[in-house]
Chain A
Amino acid sequence: MDAEVTLTVDGTAHRLTVDTRTTLLDALRERLGNTSPKKGCDHGQCGACTVLLDGKRALSCLALAVAHDGAEIITADGLAADGELHPVQQAFLDRDAFQCGYCTPGQICSAVGVLDEVRRGWPSHAGPDLTADPELSHDEVAERMSGNLCRCGAYVNIVPAVQQAGGGQA
């Protein structure tokens, strides 16, 4: 069964017809030709497909496109839409926080989400106090970024990159 949806992707609105089984990830990659979000597992187990969905980080492989009519999606490519790299992207470059690059757009969208969550005071398992404002400590960043697998093993560079983008720590 097909359905029509409108998706605003990296600032551009698209009206498109999707199979009701089409995930948001496949709608982006196979219908709209935006391959910045990656498919690593298609089961929400690796994080490579992470995008910002209505402002929050989300696994686009676990979202059905038909359920997100009208949604606003930002991919890693859209974070640099004006040609200028986002501070998180610049920090990943500065810290060599990737090798093969396949998990990278997802890591970067996830990191943008993490920094926003920390700014809003959302607690995590790594924080000592659920009611205190979280700090961008190593453990706090590592915990929050653990939904994004990196098989090349760039984690020791990803954490300082996120800290750098978040305001100078590391």
Chain B
Amino acid sequence: MTATTAPPRRGPASHARADRDGRHRSPVTWFRGGGLSNLVFLLPLILIFGVFSWFPIVRAVIMSFQETNLVSDPTFVGLDNFRQVLNDPLLWKAVQNTLYFAFLALLFGYPIPLVAAVLMREVRRARGLYSALAYLPVVVPPVVAVLLWKFFYNGSPTGVFNTILGWVGLGPYPWLQDASTAMPSLVLAATWAGAGGTIIIYLAALTSVPPELYDASEVDGAGLWRKIWHVTLPALRGVLFITLILQVIGTAQVFLEPYLFTGGGPNNATLTVLLLIYRYAFQNSLGGDYGAATALSIMLAAVLAVFSILYFRLTRSWSTS
């Protein structure tokens, strides 16, 4: 999937039009020049982005320096919110857990789809069946998938997984009910739900590998492994990198799994950064600490922005090369 975006095409006509707009404009020429219709077409965008994106972003920054709880008027407290969050022992626990989640997600979720896709590429009959089977979990609504796996993970000897593993003499495992196995269990379920999508992306990328490259390397006498190593993987380089960064950005914001599987337990073993933000803001029955919540989300955003920029750089450099 070496993306090749043609640079935006600007015909001579549009330049002419831009010149015609001129420098000095009265309301009349503004109107005649299409100023009103420009505005009409931009209005939905400006309204929606203004109210639901730009304004909240600015508000988040302001709120992170305020004490707000909807009960009393907000007051500016300087860096108190940041200090409070950074001093919260739970923050480091949450950061650790989130990194652990990301690490496990890479460990499970990175090689498996790759191997599966490379193998599936060689399937000659009924490849559609393979793809469909691999993709099936992806169409299950994520909440349903989590609730289903939660039931599978029942830690008693009569739980579904424990019964199955019991046939081969393994277990019973506590799954979600133990601080050391809870996180891997979450990641396993998340991988199940997500791997199919990744496989299909890789497959699409593999389909676009020019057959001539394989032909050429065969002329050089390359065997199967060398072809995979020298042709297949380099061809996937771009898409592999993209999925890597996307996965990092995605896992840094994991919420659904810890929230529904374990509520962050046992003993905060699955408390993630996003869950902590949610707790700050919404989990106290007497009113949320919105200042701490926005302060933490802004810190998280700063970290993720680095990845986003990296990502932009990469996709751009690939799409222009």
Do A and B come together as binding partners? no
